[in-house]
Amino acid sequence: MKKFRIFFKVFFIILLLLSLTYFGIYLYAKYCPKLSIRGANGYNFYDINNELYTNGSKDWVNLDDISSNLVNATISTEDKNFYNHHGFDFLRIIKAMIINVKNKDTSQGASTITQQLSKNLFLDFDKTWSRKIKEAWITIRLESHYDKEEILEGYLNTINYGGIFGIENAAKYYFSKTSKDLNLAEASILAGIPKNPSNYSPLTNFDEAKKRQKSILSSMVKNNYISEYEANKAYEEELIFKNGDDGEDLKMLMYYQNAVMNELSSIRSIPSSFTQTGGLKIYTNLDMNVQKILEECSNKNITNENIELAGIIMNPNNGKVLALTGGRDYNKSEFNRAIKAKRQVGSTIKPFLYYSALENGFTASTTFTSEKTTFSFSGGKTYTPKNYNDKYAGGPISLAAAISYSDNVYAVKTHLFLGEESLPDILKRVGINNDFSNLPSLALGAEEIDLLSMMEAYGTLANEGYKTKPYFISKVTDMDGNVLYENNSKPESVLNKNTVYILNELLTTTYAKEFTDYNVPTCLSILPKMTHKYAVKSGTTNTDNLIFGYNKSLLVGLWTGYDDNENVSSSDSSNLKNMWVDIMETYLDGKTDEETWYKTPNNVVGVAIDPISGKVAENSKAKILYYIKGTEPTNEKTVLDDVIPTVKTVDEKNSS
């Protein structure tokens, strides 16, 4: 009995101390400056012309102007004791801890609406202890300065409804109506999104969204907001979505905004809390006209409804990303393939191999024999690459022809001749920092690289050897215009300008009709659409189609394929090429090659050569290609195959 009294006294003292501490913290918070929550979590996005194109909090609405269906659904599912606590639901926290211990996970949450609002006041969602303490402190300050209606209003105006912030914006985006006019069915489907926006968006995962809706309606019945009959009726009601398209919005625009937010999260100079900024003005490089061109050319050419798409349009002179898409339709899939997906890049890696070759003494006329070949290595390993459609010259071909036809045997021979470290070294110089494997297949693009990194690499070629890192955000300010961040990146010279010019001219052979012979140039089919000069390289694997092309005014990189690695078809490749050329031609309409193509360096000279042999042309079939002065071709026979001792021709009769 005496031990019990001692325990009771100790427990009472501890409880009293905790209560006094708790009261003291709230009292201190009461006399701290009042946090501004109206307009908090406000992302104001501006395009390249400094015109506002979307605003996360422009449609802030009073609680009285929000449907009671939505309010009740939110409270019922997110925080049923909202009106009975002071920011923390301690019984719910204890219950969640017990459940998590039993289940050996942390899936059960206990955040109140006030706590979630405090999270919304931050730019990121780190789960560090210091961050949790800051959130708790903001929760206390909110509860000490605002009544429950004001807190609920702030929450509903800042919460994430699948990339759309605030209930008014969400109501318009999903149903083309105001939040006040949401019926029970619509309100219950929207109230389910914030718990997991990517999983419960009805546009991207309707089945899961309906399961979530059913759970919310059941909780509303349990908490006496609606009857069982009303719940069943709402669940069975057909939902007619606006699909986020009001005739002005672009289905791919949200991918650009997603990329902006991804870059924003990496900028360390921006305060982590909206309480320090009152919202952000984000000035981007988005060119709305270019974004429209991207979408229109996609809709026109990518006719396979099931295939996915990624595309980036960039100014190569400064790295500004003017337009982007990470998929066909953001409403159907929010995964941003342009910045998140890594795919095999196929033959689009070859220009960097051939830059290395030119840097190491190759010219447009350097020849290797194009024939089916097995490469032998130590340990008895062999490698037998194949050309597309199994077409080979059966004799020597020039580097120019190898680029025009995308000859795989020539590429592997070049890779082995230079040494397997040469290509990775060049790729690192132009911004691709993968941990490359020393395999002969690297020359054929077996490495998986994301599209944005490839754009940085190709941007170096398009900018005459100066590397420019692609970026989306030019400047960020607070709501008062104070600059928090400004992009001051400058191009870095990493490649030789003369060599890059020669390579860029070589990449015009991919559509040059002079190379029509035993094979045809890989991009010849789109030549009739071209009114400008371009450097172009396409690439195809079993599962991926890519194309990168540019002049000094614009760089466009595109990919199509399937998320589940289903095989692509030749028509998919053709469609992608047509999309690329339509984008370039539309953007450059009215401009001349003098404005868009490169000036020949003083140390470079043009020579008319025979396309296949690489020798000086002796007939009308010739193509002007370029050489460093003093390296012009002669008619002497110089084939480099003999320098690679581990090569043997495949015997067609005995090969499988």
The two tokens of residue 630 are: 């003093």
Helix extents (H) in 320-462: 350-359, 399-405, 408-418, 422-429, 451-462
- Strands 367-370 and 623-628 turn out to be unpaired
**179 a catalytic residue:** no
Judge whether 188 and 227 are in contact, CB under 8 Å.
no
Which of 477, 450, 228 has the alpha carbon at shortest distance from 348? 450
3-state secondary structure of 33: coil
Any idea which residue has 């083309």 for tokens? 176
Q: Cα 589 from chain centroid?
A: 28
CA–CA separation, 565 and 303 (whole Å): 19
SS (H, E, C) 150-206: HHHHHHHHHCECCCCECHHHHHHHHHCCCHHHCCHHHHHHHHCCCCCHHHHCCCCCH
Judge whether 260 and 53 are in contact, CB under 8 Å.
no
Rg (CA), the chain: 31
CA–CA separation, 321 and 319 (whole Å): 6
The two tokens of residue 19 are: 């209560």
* Catalytic residue of the set 67, 78, 298, 538: 78
The two tokens of residue 226 are: 């609606």
CA–CA separation, 89 and 70 (whole Å): 22
CB atoms within 10 A of CB 433: 11
CB atoms within 10 A of CB 296: 15
- Exposed/middle/buried for residue 497 (C-beta within 10 Å: 0-12, 13-18, 19+): middle
First to last CA, the chain: 92
3-state secondary structure of 262: helix
Judge whether 392 and 385 are in contact, CB under 8 Å.
no
**228 a catalytic residue:** no
* Catalytic residue of the set 347, 404, 406, 538: 347
Judge whether 321 and 314 are in contact, CB under 8 Å.
yes
**Alpha-carbon torsion 316, 317, 319, 321, what sign?**
negative
Judge whether 638 and 367 are in contact, CB under 8 Å.
yes
CA atoms within 13 A on the CB side of 578: 16
DSSP 68-101: HHHHHHHHHHH-TTGGGSSS--HHHHHHHHHHHH
Judge whether 180 and 247 are in contact, CB under 8 Å.
no
Q: Cα 205 from chain centroid?
A: 20
Q: Which residues have a catalytic role annotated?
A: 78, 347
